Homo-oligomer: A and B are copies of this chain.
């Protein structure tokens, strides 16, 4: 194994970058801002996708696929939307290359200029609502509940693997409803689906809340979000669900006839999570030795390493371990036996530690003779020697225990790093010294929000859905506030 990782305390940002590299999750490509998601990283994303896709289908959604390209004029149809996305998009202007006449290579063929430029989708509301216009005629066509798994492009100047990349993978749900109420319920339902996924699978506690106006999706009437706390105390927006009102229906003239034949604009939602979740997963649990994965999302849940001097010992141990492997697989536990003769056990231990495999088994000749096996857990870095007989049940329980432990540990961390503050002086001090989430009163204006951001770099992460009703006074303006909101520095 190569040298140790930079520790979180030394340099959190460097630790993250090194970890993503060493755990073989992703790397920068030569194309500015675009990443390569490597097989091990992609395997984690695939597990996330599978779970989420199942949850979308359970809640009545179907998948479909819409074009990568959006005509430039479509983006402009919704005024706020174009303001939000025009500044960061990839523009296709030509459709052919040709050989340069001077033999210097291929050049863009000037004769192949598009009449109207195409935008590589930064999000698909416009192209999708342009289709919905033809799909929706009557109340019988509603609700329309569609999701798409796709790549999107937002031109970013400063990028970080998974957290902010020019191209990223995501899902975007786009639904159409007959009533405002039903659309709001859908928006809330999908926020809840994301929250359950974050907590039950990623073992990452989140706060559900509403965005302030300035942080809303461009084109939304209301943005719901889930916000998580990373180990450096910064917030990470892990998913959003937008109530779009009738904005896109009006922009694309999408009306439906109700039971009485009256024609009304349709109500809309959209919601998405992306490969950014990978960044959140990494930063929630991992430690200075490398990645720590919750068992439910680990591509390899259990790895077994034989320790031997002779080929005969290897053979004996292998038989035992493969027999155990079969039992584990029959329980739906993913298992890898690493008997690669080119690598020493110590190297392998470090390798699977770096990659966050939740449970590591090791068996040497003495264990074999005594009917024992060593079981190490990645989350707490503890190990035990246990009876080989019945170890499969022990492991099954241990995986559940690790999953629970990671969530509990993260909940505890968040609690320890969340505080209420009442004066702006204290706020500035605490935001600088402690970081984390600060619950404070705010008067609800963008001016105050801007001022706080400019002076402290902290933003309003959300107005928590479950905040307690508590009248107070805005810490900056002294005006009335109806409850505390969450401030934090954010990714």
Interface presence of A288 (CB below 8 A): no
Is A89 a contact partner of B98 (Cβ separation < 8 A)? no
A338 to chain B minimum Cβ distance, whole angstroms, is 14
Which residue in B34, B86, B96, B106 is a CB contact (below 8 Å) of A97? B86
Docked pose: A90 CA to B112 CA in angstroms: 10
Residues of B within 8 A of A65 (CB): 36-37, 42, 169
Residues of B within 8 A of A169 (CB): 65
**Could you give, for residues 86-98 of chain A, a 1 whenever the CB lies within 8 Å of some chain B CB and a 0 otherwise?**
1111111111111
Find residues 55-106 in chain A having any chain B CB closer than 8 Å to their own CB. 62-76, 82, 86-99, 105-106
Residues of B within 8 A of A88 (CB): 95-96
Which residue in B68, B96, B153 is a CB contact (below 8 Å) of A155? B96
Is B106 a contact partner of A35 (Cβ separation < 8 A)? no
Which residue in B34, B62, B67, B68 is a CB contact (below 8 Å) of A43? B62
Which residue in B72, B74, B97 is a CB contact (below 8 Å) of A72? B97
Determine how many copies of this chain the complex contains. Answer: 2
Residues of B within 8 A of A36 (CB): 64-67, 131
Residues of B within 8 A of A76 (CB): 105-106
Stretch at the interface among A9-17, A113-121, A396-404, A451-459: A113-121
Is A67 a contact partner of B35 (Cβ separation < 8 A)? yes
Is B106 a contact partner of A91 (Cβ separation < 8 A)? no
Interface presence of A140 (CB below 8 A): yes
A113 to chain B minimum Cβ distance, whole angstroms, is 10
Is B146 a contact partner of A39 (Cβ separation < 8 A)? yes
A254 to chain B minimum Cβ distance, whole angstroms, is 15
A277 to chain B minimum Cβ distance, whole angstroms, is 14
Interface size on A, residues (CB 8 A): 62
Interface presence of A342 (CB below 8 A): yes
Is B69 a contact partner of A106 (Cβ separation < 8 A)? no
Docked pose: A82 CA to B146 CA in angstroms: 38
Interface presence of A31 (CB below 8 A): yes
Residues of B within 8 A of A188 (CB): none
Interface presence of A405 (CB below 8 A): no
Docked pose: A98 CA to B70 CA in angstroms: 16
Interface presence of A137 (CB below 8 A): no
A167 nearest CB neighbor, chain B only = B68
Residues of B within 8 A of A96 (CB): 86-89, 91, 155
Q: Which 5 A-B pairs have the closest CB atoms?
A: A34-B67, A39-B62, A86-B97, A37-B65, A91-B94
Known: A46-B63, A72-B97, A73-B105. 18 other contacts (CB 8 A): A29-B131, A31-B70, A37-B65, A42-B63, A43-B62, A43-B63, A69-B167, A87-B96, A88-B96, A89-B96, A91-B108, A92-B92, A93-B94, A93-B108, A95-B155, A96-B155, A97-B119, A151-B151
